[in-house]
Amino acid sequence: MLKITEIHKGNMPEKKLRVAAYCRVSTDEENQKNSYSTQISYYTDYIGSNPNWQLVGIFADEGISGTRTKNRTQFNRMIKMARRKK
């Protein structure tokens, strides 16, 4: 006789959402450098505190203008990885 096991959604582990953060300051001034490290700490803690999220990376460009993305190396890296579903 065959045995049938019913699987309920509640019994299956949920797939974690892959999450990344992008941090940036536009100048190399001292108060901006503090903001930069504060942003990185904040997002690391915030994303890490959610059990349904998996931190895949903190991408950060320091002292880069926000008017164009061309020179934002880490921003462009983050976008490429997202498009490749990495």
To the question of pTM greater than 0.75 for the whole model, the response is no
Residue whose token pair is 């582990």: 13
Within 1-86, strands assigned E span: 17-25, 53-62
Please give the CATH number for the structural domain made up of 18-83.
3.40.50.1390
Pick the more confident residue, 10 or 85. 85
| Tens of pLDDT, residues 7-35 | 666 655 678 999 999 988 776 566 665 78
Domain ranges of the chain: 18-83
**3-class secondary-structure state, position 60:** strand
